Amino acid sequence: MEKVAVVTGANRGLGREVAKKLAARGYRVVGTVRDVAAGELMRDRYATEGLAFTPLAVDVTAEDAGARLFAAVPDGVDVVVNNAAVLLDGFDVEVVDRTLAVNWYGAVRVAEALLPALRDGGRLVNVSSGMADEAGLEPALRARLQDEALDRRGIDALMAEFRGSVAAGARSGWPRSAYRVSKVAIDAWTRHLARALAGDPRRLRVNAVCPGWVSTDMGGPAAPRSVEQGAASILWATEVPPDGPSGGFFRDGRPAAW
Ligand SMILES: NC(=O)c1ccc[n+]([C@@H]2O[C@H](COP(=O)([O-])OP(=O)(O)OC[C@H]3O[C@@H](n4cnc5c(N)ncnc54)[C@H](OP(=O)(O)O)[C@@H]3O)[C@@H](O)[C@H]2O)c1
């Protein structure tokens, strides 16, 4: 059976490299793009190299994004790379809203839509960041994030609390970075998902990965790592075997501290 992968944010940066490498490994890759014309150009160019790339016009903040993704993989999916994200300047409630819409609610939308479509041994890879390192968080917040009873609704409530504290101009123990908080949420949710799916007969693996500081539009030109190096860190988690780790946070294939 043809191997199928979904990569969000496949038109540039790490997502593009991951999508291309997965296609080279024999996957039919459904890659989300927001610029349809650019996606079609990618499809045609990859086709000349024998690579199967299907562009799918999806904004992960759109209500119908999940339904569109699910419909794009009618025979199921082996690998989902939850990669699309934004890193915005500034720190106010508007930045919090725009960041969480993509990096938290968007990522959840993508994964929850595609989890039912994951085949036996399927892997969900949530692209996180070293900035999500929980060691630097205030102990009370860290304890709440690491509470084993914390589920997606609980994380939603934490995000609402974070937003409320920013709107109120309160300090209240949260980092002053919407991006960092969104990735902390992704990590906590990765742990929750792995626990919740532990008994699933499909033997699904769910992990978070850090690509390192990579020279992309987001990482900027000063970043020490190439797109190929960052993508390799992500691709490692797409190959975790059905009895491999789940619920972990990895960089370059090695466990990283939360
Ligand atoms: N670069 C780094 O140093 C670094 C470090 C740690 C973690 N990461 C993580 O690695 C991942 C990829 O980062 P990158 O450096 O490749 O970023 P990037 O070059 O800025 O690319 C971001 C991708 O996300 C897409 N995207 C943004 N908003 C979207 C939305 N609402 N709906 C659908 N797609 C959307 C973009 O599409 P458009 O072109 O349409 O905007 C683009 O394809 C992210 O999760 C990031 O947090 C990066």
Distance 13 CA to ligand 1 centre (A): 7
Q: Quick check: CB of 59 below 6 Å from ligand 1? A: yes
Q: Could you identify the atom of ligand 1 that is nearest to the CA of residue 33?
A: 40
Q: Structurally, how many domains does the chain consist of?
A: 1
3-state secondary structure 192-229: HHHHHCCCCCCCCEEEEEECCCECCCCCCCCCCECHHH
Question: Rounded to 10 degrees, what is the CA torsion of 235, 108, 157, 103?
Answer: 60
| Probe residue for ligand 1, chosen from 34, 35, 59 as the CB with the greatest number of ligand atoms within 8 Å | 34
Write the pLDDT tens digit of every residue in 108-135: 999 999 999 999 999 999 999 999 888 8
Model confidence at 258: pLDDT above 70: no
Return the active site residues.
179
Distance 83 CA to ligand 1 centre (A): 6
Q: Quick check: CB of 60 below 6 Å from ligand 1? A: yes
In a domain, 44, yes or no: yes
CA-based nearest residue to 6, from 81, 102, 115, 104: 81
Q: Quick check: CB of 43 below 6 Å from ligand 1? A: no
The CA distance from 238 to 73, in Å, is 17
User: Has this prediction a pTM greater than 0.75?
Assistant: yes
Q: Quick check: CB of 31 below 6 Å from ligand 1? A: no
In a domain, 140, yes or no: no
In a domain, 173, yes or no: no
59: CATH: 3.40.50.720
Write the pLDDT tens digit of every residue in 193-217: 999 999 999 999 999 999 999 999 9
Domain that holds residue 198: 3-89+100-130+185-255
In a domain, 174, yes or no: no
Q: How many CB atoms lie within 10 A of CB 19?
A: 31
In a domain, 95, yes or no: no
Model confidence at 22: pLDDT above 70: yes
